[in-house]
Structure 1
Amino acid sequence: MNNFDKNIKDKLQNHLNKNIEFSSNEKEKVNNYMNKKWKFSTKKSLLTLCTSLVVVLGCILIISSPAYIGNDVTRIIHSFSESKKEPVGKEELSSLFKQNENDQTNVDENNDELEMPKETDSKNEGENQAKAEEENEESNKEIDEENNEEKNETTKTPNKEVFIDILKQYENMSDLIGKQIINYENGGYEFKTFTKKEDVYNLLSEFMTYKAAEEYWSLRLEEQGNKLFLIPMDGDVYFDLDVPYVINKVSENQYEFVQEIGSDLHGETEVTITFRLNDQQWLIDEIKTQVL
């Protein structure tokens, strides 16, 4: 490029020198003008060259960049943006609303499915509680029935062996009390630990009521200070289980043992021993004798 300009300049200069006559001042002006033109042309050419190089490099970078490779994505995004600008049709809008309703329905169904186990658990807990209460009621009912059966067994007509066993304890009453007396076998009368008559009444409570024990033993005991003594006395009520007797029912809670027996001391005597049901236990409640 520089050689070409230089040749042009030289040829132009030769042509001017041959065909045109200038004064020294004019020649100097022309030369100065030509030099300025040449310098400007050179600068312009260099600027054009640099601009071209920059453009070429820019194209190469654009072509080799990922953005250029992904131009399809850019076109798709651009197309989508353009489509958003277009108005939505009535049918498309209806379809969107319908789809939204379907989505909401699916969400509600999912929520119902999630909440269903809780309802099921609550239902199961209620059923288990009801079942436990029913079992407790049945158990309590069985216990009540057993208690009622025991009560009925006691209150219904008892076997005479119940009364015979009580009478046998009555026959051993003197020996039971003698074990509480100091040197009883040798005629001792002082009780070891008993200090009141009530102590004796309570000792006999396994087969006699407090009332019957007091009526029979009150005159046979004496309290002196802080001590209790037995008073020897005849007249113990005597009966013999090997002699005929009868057990009569007076009421649901009362029976009587009746026997006629003879003795050298009293002659023919009728012995009546009354049994009473006291707190579900049969006890001797009264002892009577009558000379015949």
Structure 2
Amino acid sequence: MWNALSILVLPPPSRQNFVHIVSGNTISSRDIFGSHIIPPLPPRGLFSSHYHAVYIWAVWSLVVMRWLLRLSAAVVVAFWVMEYVRVNYLHKAFIFDRNHLQVIGKEVIAQHPDGNSTAILMGVYDRLKEEYGDYINDYNEDDWVFNNAGNAMGTMFVLHASITEYLIFFGTAIGTEGHTGTHFSDDYFLILAGNQTAAPPNARQPEVYLPGDSHHLPCGYNKQYSMPSDSWALELAQGYIPTMLPFGFLEVVTSTMDYYTLAKTVKISAVNIVKNLLKGKL
């Protein structure tokens, strides 16, 4: 009876092991757990075959539970190691300094008191290209793409993307509002034109960021934010950049169905990451 039940109800990879384990009237849990934590099986005939089937599935559930606990422990350990590396060592791979980028932004903004966003963006781009050379992508109007993330929609131009950093122009011609996302990286949002308002969940009044201000969103934190029309920023993220990608891609699947933009964004990001890896830049 036990052999038949084990063959019928257990998944194929486990049939042979369970036929061996449940042969007779008892189950030896040592082969599964390394210690006897499952009580002996009552003698045959005392319970119906339904009980025997349930008993087998109970044992199988405990096996699955053990592997889930192992997996959870592995995830916790991996997270701790990644956080330790991020805090203590990851900065050695950075090439951008948020304070220096803010200086560049303020100098270019000061050169355009009329607040012309196009002139400011191009002025910042020229300065970045001059200072960082091939680490900054060549400018092409066709490389601007939509970005839908956290229920906010804007447009972006990828200036640099690598494993540990990305630098982009991000903004909106008509205004947007949404969730910043919660990221395994620090995010610095330097306003170049327009403004940004932001608020954590316990705020009663908004934080207001004007041209020249840098909004720092620390690793693991999140806020609600909004930007009015003709607002643009230079955004620097430093940390584990690949962990941010699902936030930027998920709404394509769940909402917009804009697979062309997804493919274009993936191509730009992948080409940049590989190009910088070949240069030795993580």
Q: Same fold, TM exceeding 0.5?
A: no
Higher Rg: 1
More strand by share: 2
Q: Which has the higher contact order (CA 8 A, sep 6+)?
A: 2
More helix by share: 1
Short-chain TM bin = under 0.3
TM-score by length of 2: 0.25
